[in-house]
Copies of this chain bind each other. A is one copy, B any other.
Amino acid sequence: MKDGGAAAKGRGKTAGLRMGILPDLLAYHLRCAHVAVFQHFNRTLGVHGISGPQFGTLLLIEANPGVSQSSIAEALRFDRSTLVQIVDRLEDRGLVKREPSAQDRRSHALRLTEDGAALLDELKALSDEHEGIVAETLNEDERKSLLALLERLHTPGPPRPEGRAG
């Protein structure tokens, strides 16, 4: 059992309770970290009424002007109806426009409006600050390790060996 000092300190008891097996569960720490980071996200980028999925969608439209809804849904692993709701909301606020697609008459090409591009610049600056604050207990190497380890949890790896229990 090799933990940093800060990690070891919180181990075992919280609010005077025995924590049982919780401190050994990845699911527990992932949920707690997710809650802590997105509470802070909501206090920073959230003041503009922008959620995490909306921010991700704006970033992808900026990086891929004319992108289709289905490509964004696939890249961010949202189901299609969730993405349509996100784009509806961004379009209602005048941040994104749907144009007819040159390639496919049944789909739309998404672009940022001028207002959308301006707000996204502000959001990116807030995100820089937010990312710095939520990870301020980590040095740059630790932050990069954490990113790479998290990426391996959500990026499909090689096929699982057959015959695994369960």
Contact = CB atoms under 8 A, between A and B. Distances in A.
A99 to B, nearest CB: 18
Contact of A15 (B74, B129, B166): B74
A44 B36 CA distance: 25
Interface in A6-46: 6-7, 9-10, 14-38, 41, 44
Contact of A33 (B35, B75, B133, B150): B150
Contacts of A137: 152-153, 157
B149 A146 contact: yes
Contact of A135 (B16, B26, B77, B130): B26
Nearest to A67: B17
B36 A153 contact: yes
A3 B33 CA distance: 22
A71 B148 contact: no
A52 B77 contact: no
Contacts of A52: 27, 31
A17 B63 contact: yes
Interface string A93-135: 0000000000000000000000000000000100101110111
Given A7-B152, A21-B124, A146-B149, A41 B27 contact: yes
